[in-house]
Amino acid sequence: MKRFIFTLIFALIVLGAFCMSYSDYWAFDVLGGSLIVIGGIIATVKTLKLENKALKITLLCLLYLAIILLLIAGSVRFSGTIILAIMGAAALVTYGFLIYTKAKG
């Protein structure tokens, strides 16, 4: 995966998560959610181009877990929101690490 696409995916997802978590207006929540979903779609297309089936399934599970957790953490306010956001960020970092090591080696 090229470095630009890799950076674009993470920038869209992280920007969407920040936009959802720091706004109280519903339009910014919709904007943030759409940024997360667009980043997820681009990441899905790029992940499906990999040859290794086991790695592909692992990456897609991590990606969708991160997207779902970040969408929930951004849209629903309760006492465990920070835990969901941390778990979503950890899944996204793990996805990035696996993609990065696959691209290097």
Q: How many domains does the chain have?
A: 1
Per residue in 28-42, pLDDT (tens digit) is 899 999 999 999 999
Cα separation of 6 and 104, whole Å?
13
**DSSP three-state, residue 47:** helix
Per residue in 50-91, pLDDT (tens digit) is 888 999 999 999 999 999 999 998 888 888 888 998 999 999
Cα separation of 87 and 42, whole Å?
21
Per residue in 1-13, pLDDT (tens digit) is 578 888 899 999 9
Average confidence score pLDDT of the chain: 89
Give the model's pLDDT for residue 30. Answer: 92
Domain range for residue 37?
3-104
Per residue in 43-57, pLDDT (tens digit) is 999 999 988 899 999
